Structure 1
Amino acid sequence: MKELTERVRRFADERDWHRYHTPKNLAMALAGEVGELLAELQWLTPDEAATVMDDPDAAARLRSELADVQIYLVRLADVLGVDLIEASHAKIDVNEGRFPPDPPD
């Protein structure tokens, strides 16, 4: 994750985009990319969605949209000084307390 964060930061810095990369702008860009990801799946049936990666063209589009979502998320976290791995583990810790597993039958 550190390598990706540094690469995304370097990419933005080399283009002098840091002035546009405010938390608000990055969150809005992230939401837009999530919308594009949703558009790829929007009208698929559950069965079609479960096998969407079997279609090479659809799989390429989904990989691209997932990458866009991750890149904006990584950039937003970097600008805010959030360690995504640490934050994710902390959130899972909270969720484990909120949603205990069902006992076996």
Structure 2
Amino acid sequence: MASVEELTQRLRTFADERDWGQFHTPKNLVMAAAGEMGELVAEFQWLTPEQSAAVMEDPEAGGRVRAELGDVVIYLTRLADVLGVDLVQAALDKLEHSAKRYPVESSRGSAAKAPHDQPPAP
């Protein structure tokens, strides 16, 4: 299994060989990632919850989902590299923060937002 570091280096080399660094500005990479996420969303748009859970069982649909996930990861990894962000550490930091905001005892089985995420009552 490849590591995030290996993927980052391969993407950097891929972009450098093509002189694409000039186009890989944070703004462009964010927009590209958002576009690819939209394409991933489109694969699930009209599926039932049951169909979405089984999407990878369909070779054609599963292949499209896998490709779109790849595109999203590529752009996020490239963005993190360009910005000098350790993507794994950023995710771990966010997970730690979320664990504090959503303690097990008050969050288990609930999809409710954390109290401070709710707009104040009028």
TM class, shorter-chain normalised? over 0.9
Count of aligned pairs: 104
Following the alignment from structure 1 to structure 2, what is the Cα–Cα distance between the partners of residues 60 and 35?
16
1:38 to 19, 22, 41: 41
Tell me, which stretches of 5 or more residues in structure 2 are unaligned? 109-122
> Structure 1: which 5+ runs fail to align?
none
The structure 1 residue matched to 2:25, chosen from 17, 22, 25, is 22
Could you say what secondary structure the match of 2:104 adopts? coil
Q: Which residue of 1 aligns with 2:116?
A: none
Which protein shows a greater Rg?
A: 2
The 5 Å alignment of 1:1-105 reads 1-102=4-105
Q: Which runs of 4+ in 1 moved over 6 A?
A: none
Whole-Å separation in 2 of the counterparts to 1:43 and 1:35: 14
| TM-score in terms of structure 1 length | 0.96
Identify the structure with the greater helix proportion.
Answer: 1
CA RMSD after TM alignment: 1.1
Task: Compute the displacement of 1:102 (Å).
Answer: 2.6
What percent of counterpart residues are identical? 60
